[in-house]
Every structure is written in C-alpha cells, then in structure tokens.
Structure 1
C-alpha cells in the first residue's frame, strides 16, 4: 500500500529538507507561516529530531506490528482525501499521462494482465478467479476493483483497525459488501483455512513483513492448488555475482528508512524467487517496474505544493514528520538503483 505510504504529508516534508525548496517564494511563506503562529525554524527542529530518531536500533517484531497499525490508522484518511481509495502507485505508460487516479487503477489491471489472469470476456467465467485474498489491503481499493472486475469474492486483511473499518464502509457504499469483507489480521498468521483462495494478491505490503519466509508460506498455504499468487513489493537490488551483501552505505540508508516506515530488514526479488522455489512454486515470473511507477512520485509532490499543507505538516504528529524525511531517503535509494519496485508471480502446483 505503499506500502511505502507515499502520503501527501510525507512528500510535503521531503520537499522541505533542501533549503532551496523555499527560495522561490520565501517571503510569502515566511509571512503566511508567521501569521499562523508557525515559523520555518520549526521545520529545522523537526528535521533534526527526525535525523536523531533514525539512528535508533532495529525494532522488535511486536513493535513493528504496533507501529504499522498506528501509522496507517493515522495516515490513511489523509491519503484518501487527496488520492482516493487506492493506496498505491500508478502505471505510467506513457510516462507523461496526467490522470493519476486512473493510473492507479491501471496498475491493478496491468499487474493482473502481466501475471496471466484472464480478462473477462463474457464466456470465460470458468477461467476467472472465484475467491481472492488481498494481503495488506489498505482501505480495500484493490479488493473492490477485483471483485467488480471478476464477480469474485474478496477478503482483505490489514493490521490497521481504521483501514478495515473504512474498507467495509466503502464496500457497502459501492454495493459490493456481499462480495468484499475486511478484517484486522496478521499476514503471517492468516485466519483462513488451507487451500481457500484461487487468487492471492499482495500489493505494496510485502516490505512490511518481518519474516519473508513465513509471509510466502502463508500465501502458499491459503492458495488453492493451481491458484495464482501475485506479489508487488519494494525490494533492494539483487546482489551481483561475488557480493555477500549490500554495501555499508546502502545498509545504513535502508536502516534509516526502516525506522520511519516501521519496516524490517529488506530483501531482494532474488530472495523472493528462492523462497517461492522452496515452496514448490511453478511458473515463476518476475520483473522490475521501477521505471513504470516513477512518475507517480512527481505527481504527488506537485499536488503538495501549497502553504496549507506546509502548515499542516508542522502541526502533524512526529511519526508523519519522520516519514516525510524518509521519503527523501527513498528517492535517493531509488535514484541510486538500490530500491526496486518488484513484481513476482507464480502458481501453486496442482495436486
């Protein structure tokens, strides 16, 4: 779901970090912020506090769960107000497209197409998904879209009580509450029986999973024999031949991002492929779509260039401000080729 939560407020703060960000309209900003009893000195204090907090030690698994739930409880409403129900990046082919909400919807459809899930034609119902689970569902945008597209049921799970509640509200508003349901649950201990779903969907949530083996094992467990598994997630780059790990600078950058976004240690797409093979997956396919989603960041940044957002940031909670600083680090990692937007799909063998 953004799994990296590219929230409006997060991007705003990223823009505040370089001093030149204020140069074009410094007089206007200083005047209006002063009128709101807020000063740019507050930004400096926030940034310094954020930098210090990112040097803290790695969190425990339980701390991560609590932090993730709280982070999305606080930020999901902000995202929905600006971008709507889809809490993920968009599909930019061509890269200059301007309908960003449609780009988010298209990302879902293009990933499904890429993974080999058939398009509904009216006479191929037997080939279409019947039961979908959305692992890390946000407020359920993907679940509802998939349910409407295929006429299938969709069960979404999230650690955030706010997201689960809002997902059910939107399902009722859109007339698909007979197909979609959302609940608070841990992706590493899913509340479903074995062999339940023929479509396993995880969009921008895998990066939050502290145990990637357990995460994939659970996806496999709840999948039906022959079921399709789709994972779209942020990863670090694959290691080159002869490398034993990332460089110290790369590890340090990711560690700072982890602190802000309540993330565990990262893995690569190669790691996911290895785990899938250990589970006996067949028809494994992978691809890097970093270049396809990159324009979405620019769109979010552009939408955030207003004084109201700046003042709102200075009044926001510390976790949001820290996430804002980390988005700047995310962009650095992406530009250096360290951070990748990876797609992985496979099927569970038929018995």
Structure 2
C-alpha cells in the first residue's frame, strides 16, 4: 500500500512545504541541532516547528524505505522485518487488553500504519493524533484504501495540548512518538487527562540507557546524531520516563527494555554489514542507490533543492542508531504499561 516508487518519493519530498522553500526549511531544521550550533533549550522551546519540519522533510523517505509503520521491533531469527513490526504492534494491543468497540488514541500516529494494523487486529475504533498536515493527509488516503476509514480517523493537534475532553479514551498508546515531546511529564499528563480512570497507557519510548555516559564525547556524538536525524529535542533516560509517569499520576504496571535479549538486534536493518532482499532499501547498497537516485532527481528538478541534505541527515541518524545499539547506550524499545487509577483525577 505504500508509495513505493521513485517518482512518488520525489513528489512527496517536503510534504506540505512549498517545493521552493524546502532548502530553507532544511537549513532552519539543521540549525536547531548541536552539529550546527543549536542547543537543547532552543529545540524544546521550538519543538512543534522543529518536529513539523522534520516530518514534512522525511516522511516520503520513511515510507519509501520502511513502509507504513515507522518503528523498530525486537526480532526472532528467521522472522522478516515486516513480520516483526506487525508482531510488535499486536503485542502492544494485547498488553493493553484491547476489546472490540473500544475507543483508542494513538499519540503521534505518523501515517497510521500501526493504527490500521491494531484496529484490524483488535476491532477497535482508533483516533490518530498528529500535528503534521502531510502525514494526516497521507494517512487518510491509506485508511480509505485499506477500508478502515469508517472506524479510524485522524485529528490534528499537539500532544502537549490535546484537543480532547477529559476521560474520553478506553486506552492510549504511543509508538516511538512521545520522544518528540519537549517535556515527558507534560505529555504524559495530557495522556492521563484524556484517558478514562482505571484504563491503561502503553508506549515504546526512545531512551538512553543506564550505560550512557554524558561525559563521554563519543556517547554525546552518537546522541547528537540520533537527535538531528530523528527530530528529537533531547533523548531521555529510561528512569526519567518512569519518574514522569508517576509524577503525572500513573501507576506503572511494568516496564522493560525489549532490546535486551532480542535474538536479532533491532538495529540490524540499518547495519551496513547486513544485507537483506526483503528490506533491500534499508541496506548499505539500497541506501547508496536511494542517495544517488535522490541526487539525480534533484538535479533534473523532479525533487526539490535540499532533498540530498535530508538524505544526509537520515544517514547520520542511521549511523548513530547502529552505534548506539551496538554500544547498548540507546534503545528505541523501552516499553511500559501504566494505569490511571480509578480514583485518579487531576
């Protein structure tokens, strides 16, 4: 169902940004980050603009290389990347105990790949919250194509100020999305507010692990590469996420870094030493092909100026993610289930 072709990649580059403004958007996005002189406080203060620019610039690349679900997954031997991603989404639905007819919120839903999979798996009604116009329009198109547009929809909004009343959802989840929040407590508090008492919130978070040393320059470089390549204001420690959940009023039922003990490393699809026909576009050869294709498309005017720069910082992200995974200082798979108490109200 994804827009897989080179022409679709080219026409989607820049999202809702006017094609003549893509290069200046890339330059502004880059300046938010450490590699270009930016700092954490500026990224947090301007997180909405930064994250919106990021997803306008990269969504077409993500869909071209990754499919409709923009996330990692722990993986078994002999299991394809696509199979592991679906299983990862089903696991989340099962941990939430989703039941047919429930009203569920997907916080930071991307173009809705997980939303569609989980809705079909659990027979629930899912609303995807997203602040990016391009991703919402793309998601609505895919909902129509897959036939879930009657039970699934999208709402444009900021997850720090959700456009929903209190106590309205039977379950809430986030898949590698709330890492974009400038403040975990503020984001989790909004999730707490819109969730019905006695119900659960589950998420996969991007985190630095306890092995991360903030005084180690190599560790800091890896963290900065992930931040610029993935539109992040900062990357929190796993413990900071748990503390923020408790401060927001949640009871943490359980939590675990699912990267630990995974038979196949989560970062394998991005490892340049790995080759796979099923996920060819993510391999070193596939990325080299994409890089040169984008260069050619930009040269002939089919892709906007600045497209190569986007490809460059995505490459930087891939390198940072692989090194962060190898050194076990970063995980995209910190999972938790947290419950809003029956008596809880804020």
- Given candidates 30, 55, 78, the residue that maps to 1:96 is 78
CA contact (8 A) 1:89 1:296 kept: no
SS where residue 145 of structure 1 aligns?
Answer: helix
Aligned counterparts of 2:232 and 2:157: Cα–Cα separation in 1:
18
Aligned counterparts of 1:248 and 1:283: Cα–Cα separation in 2:
31
- Given candidates 78, 81, 84, the residue that maps to 2:61 is 78
* TM-score, length-scaled by structure 2: 0.75
**Aligned match of 2:131:** 159
Structure 1, unaligned runs of 5 or more: 1-8, 10-48, 119-126
SS where residue 265 of structure 1 aligns?
Answer: coil
Aligned counterparts of 1:272 and 1:155: Cα–Cα separation in 2:
24
**Aligned match of 2:48:** 65
- Given candidates 31, 37, 40, the residue that maps to 1:56 is 37
SS where residue 156 of structure 1 aligns?
Answer: strand
**Aligned match of 1:288:** 257
Alignment of 1:167-246 (within 5 A): 167-238=139-210, 246=214
Q: Deviations over 1:234-280 (max 9, x none)?
A: 1001379xxxx732423343234323332112212211111222233
* TM-score, length-scaled by structure 1: 0.74
Alignment of 1:37-56 (within 5 A): 54-56=35-37
Q: Alignment RMSD, CA only?
A: 2.7
Counting matched residue pairs gives 288
| Change in CA separation of 1:274 and 1:129 when aligned onto 2, cut-off 3 Å | farther
Structure 2, unaligned runs of 5 or more: 1-8, 10-29, 299-306
Aligned counterparts of 1:86 and 1:165: Cα–Cα separation in 2:
16
- Rg (Cα) greater in structure: 1
**Aligned match of 1:274:** 243
Which 4+ residue blocks in structure 1 deviate beyond 4 angstroms? 298-303
Aligned counterparts of 1:202 and 1:79: Cα–Cα separation in 2:
18
**Aligned match of 1:131:** 103
Aligned counterparts of 1:168 and 1:108: Cα–Cα separation in 2:
20
Aligned counterparts of 2:227 and 2:66: Cα–Cα separation in 1:
24
**Aligned match of 1:261:** 230
| Change in CA separation of 1:116 and 1:156 when aligned onto 2, cut-off 3 Å | closer
CA contact (8 A) 1:134 1:143 kept: yes
Q: Deviations over 1:267-326 (max 9, x none)?
A: 122111112222332252111112533434345576441453231354534233122123
- Given candidates 306, 324, 335, the residue that maps to 2:326 is 335
| Change in CA separation of 1:221 and 1:96 when aligned onto 2, cut-off 3 Å | same
Shift of 1:334: 1.7
Q: Deviations over 1:93-147 (max 9, x none)?
A: 2x332x322221111012333x2526xxxxxxxx556011111101011111222
